[in-house]
Amino acid sequence: MIKKTKKDLAEVLVEKYGYTKKEANEVVTTLFDEIAANLVNGDTTDISGFGKFVVKTRKARVGINPATGEKIDIEASKAPAFRPAKALKESVK
């Protein structure tokens, strides 16, 4: 398994398109910042052929503390999620 970082992604832009390292880092950072800003606003980011970044809402529920067995109330919350596009799913198979 190979781990890719933002720096690695920027390096691809440098090699493939001739950006400077600074420009490539700005492009990658801007891309991720835009996706994050959309999620903070409750919006989705749909990248055709790749997938969709969405905000999932979790309902409030009753949970159990595993240490004490006591029932606890868990508040509703929101979390970022990624839904891969069909083309991405097929390419991974």
pLDDT digits (tens, 9 = 90+) for 22-73: 999 999 999 999 999 999 999 999 999 999 999 999 999 999 999 999 999 9
Q: Work out the pLDDT band at 74, boundaries 50, 70, 90.
A: very high
- Cα–Cα–Cα angle for 51, 54, 55, rounded to 5 degrees: 160
Question: What are the structure tokens assigned to 5, written together?
Answer: 């970082």
pLDDT of residue 1: 82
Q: Whole-model pTM?
A: 0.80
pLDDT of residue 59: 96
Complete domains list, the chain, with CATH = 1-43 (4.10.520.10), 44-93 (4.10.520.10)
Whole-angstrom distance, CA of residue 73 vs CA of residue 65: 10
* Three-state secondary structure string covering 7-56: HHHHHHHHHHHCCCHHHHHHHHHHHHHHHHHHHHCCCCEEECCCEEEEEE
35-42: long-range contacts, CB 8 A cutoff, minimum separation 24: 39/80, 42/78
What are the backbone angles phi and psi of residue 6, rounded to the nearest 5°? Answer: -60, -35
pLDDT of residue 93: 87
